[in-house]
Amino acid sequence: MSATQLSASTGAENEATGSEAVAQPRLGRRLRMAMAVVFVLLIAVGAVVLALSYPRVHAYQTEAHNRADVVRVAERFTTEVNNYDVSSIGGYQKRISPLLTTKFRADFKHAMGDIVTSVQKAKMTSHGQVLASAVSGIDQDSATVLVVADAKVKTVFDTRARHFRWKVSLVKVNDRWLVDDFQPIS
């Protein structure tokens, strides 16, 4: 190959390389533009999905929080009702009253006379514990919790194990869950 042929061949290669160099940035620019469009679309789709799912997530979190609250109140009520002794029966009603609605507090206060008399007569002591609980039903302002509890009751006469299965009804008053009633179940 002569020097002229070599120079012509190198020039042709340079022209080809030059045209490839021009085509390559265009291809890269197009690819970057396409990737940017896809990225923007992904962000937009993500924002729409987030906006549509937020109310569901918020509702689920609110319900989970309410469920935890009603279980906590029902368990505390059950524990307080089943833990007393003759020396602390005076504070018994004071411990339980804040957990009750106004209506149920009046009913409970009425029943306290008989409870105090029985506890004092028998020199009774009771230690109870919640074994299990579950939300049976719940809406925005009312709930029902099923509670299983046992208590060991000592009197001057004997010692017994008592087993409780209660349906505790709660209502929401001023953003607080309060016990409105309870009933034994079998």
Q: How far apart are CA 148 and CA 18, in angstroms?
A: 85
Rg for the chain, CA atoms, rounded: 37
Q: How far apart are CA 110 and CA 104, in angstroms?
A: 10
Instruction: For 72-98, write each residue's pLDDT tens digit.
Output: 999 999 999 999 988 887 788 888 999
**Range with the largest mean pLDDT of 37-41, 91-95, 142-146:** 142-146
Res. 103 pLDDT band, cuts 50 70 90: very high
* 8 Å CB contact between 155 and 111: no
Q: How far apart are CA 47 and CA 166, in angstroms?
A: 46
Least confident segment among 19-33, 40-54, 67-81, 126-140: 19-33
Per-residue DSSP letter, 98: G
Q: Which residue has the higher pLDDT, 38 or 26?
A: 38
Question: Residues 6 or more apart from 9 whose CB is under 8 A from it?
Answer: 1
Q: What is the total residue count of the chain?
A: 186
Candidates 103, 111, 182, 97; CA nearest to 148 is 182
Q: Which residue has the higher pLDDT, 90 or 164?
A: 164
CATH of 52-184, one of 3.10.450.50, 3.90.650.10, 3.40.309.10, 3.40.190.10: 3.10.450.50
Task: State how far the alpha carbon of 79 is from the alpha carbons of 13, 27, 46, 91, 126, in Å.
Answer: 91, 74, 47, 14, 10
pLDDT value of residue 160 = 94
Q: How far apart are CA 169 and CA 78, in angstroms?
A: 12
Cα end-to-end span (Å), the chain: 107
Give the start-to-end residue ranges of the domains of the chain.
52-184
